[in-house]
Structure 1
């Protein structure tokens, strides 16, 4: 998923090593543990004031052993929220479309599910009152480690300052010293099964 590969300097090598370590740990998680984490994270986010008062929430469809988002997305819709989901573009930027339940998703390659509805444009993320993003780790100051494609760093650059931007992780993926580069965008919070930490 890389259009501009990360430089393989000290920072790039450190990111690669940390990604490898975290992805290996994720692959070892049982389906039961992944499901339990998904339910706990959904409960935490739905109770958070930033999400409760949001009219529009930008989310994503989890893949593999990421903390699951399926139930969370459905619960957000049931709560009356407008939920927008990303559509990966050929240049690795993210377009957006409205989520209307599981039947509004279709396979899109690379193991991703994407919404079928009309595209809203890359700037649609700026309309969200709360933005939920995937990641592999987060530092004590909110620096997020993604998978290296840069899609979410580009998208987060369009989010107005002060918007609740939250990465969904397992508890042992928080507090890592994440190497940073000029294009990296920090988040304002992390949600784990144990709760929400704001930066």
Structure 2
């Protein structure tokens, strides 16, 4: 990751975050249910034993219905724990009661830490983002945490970014440290390399 962020990425982040701040709460809740439904019905997720996911915050596409659905389906779910250097450790998610407040307004699992390499054990990896290009270049918040984590994911693992409609197919500026994802999940469905699944 570069020491400075590109002005194009900063401007794009600002625009996307501003648009998210204007989303009504009811729309955010409905989007979370729709996203969970699409992912839980996807054959690759249904076959998965372990899913790496995250706990959404603020106006991000919600993950609570997805996390509950994965656990109800018997999946092992691992969630990130932010380290001081912005890298990600991982811990098993057992229930909402297992989550504890952490830095930057995040909620993290309170169980035993599995190490940064634990993401490599996941059959499906679900990550946050602000936008994604049709080629899979994801725009995150700029900390580089998920690009590092995605660098540990074995080739061929199903990787998916959760977004709102209108945040897919965006011309995202690309930098050498950026790691692509294979799929985007939106309230309207799953998009793989520009095609509907």
Q: CA RMSD in A?
A: 0.9
Write the distance in 2 (CA, Å) between the matches of 1:125 and 1:109.
21
Residue in structure 2 matching 1:14, options 3, 8, 13: 8
Contact 1:106 1:116 (C-alpha < 8 Å) held by counterparts: yes
Write the distance in 1 (CA, Å) between the matches of 2:117 and 2:103.
23
Match of 1:85 in 2: 79
Post-superposition Cα deviations, 1:64-118, rounded to whole Å, max 9, x if no partner, equal: 0000001110110010000000000000000000000100000002110000000
Contact 1:107 1:113 (C-alpha < 8 Å) held by counterparts: yes
Write the distance in 1 (CA, Å) between the matches of 2:70 and 2:24.
26
Q: TM-score, normalised by structure 1?
A: 0.95
Give structure 2 stretches of 5+ with no counterpart.
Answer: none
Match of 1:98 in 2: 92
- Consecutive aligned runs of 4 or more in structure 1 exceeding 2 Å deviation: 4-8
Residue in structure 2 matching 1:198, options 180, 187, 192: 192
Q: TM-score, normalised by structure 2?
A: 0.96
Match of 2:125 in 1: 131
Shift, 1:7, TM fit: 2.6
Contact 1:57 1:84 (C-alpha < 8 Å) held by counterparts: yes
Number of aligned pairs? 193
Write the distance in 1 (CA, Å) between the matches of 2:66 and 2:35.
8
- For 1:97, what is the secondary structure of its paired residue? strand
Give structure 1 stretches of 5+ with no counterpart.
Answer: none
Shift, 1:127, TM fit: 0.1
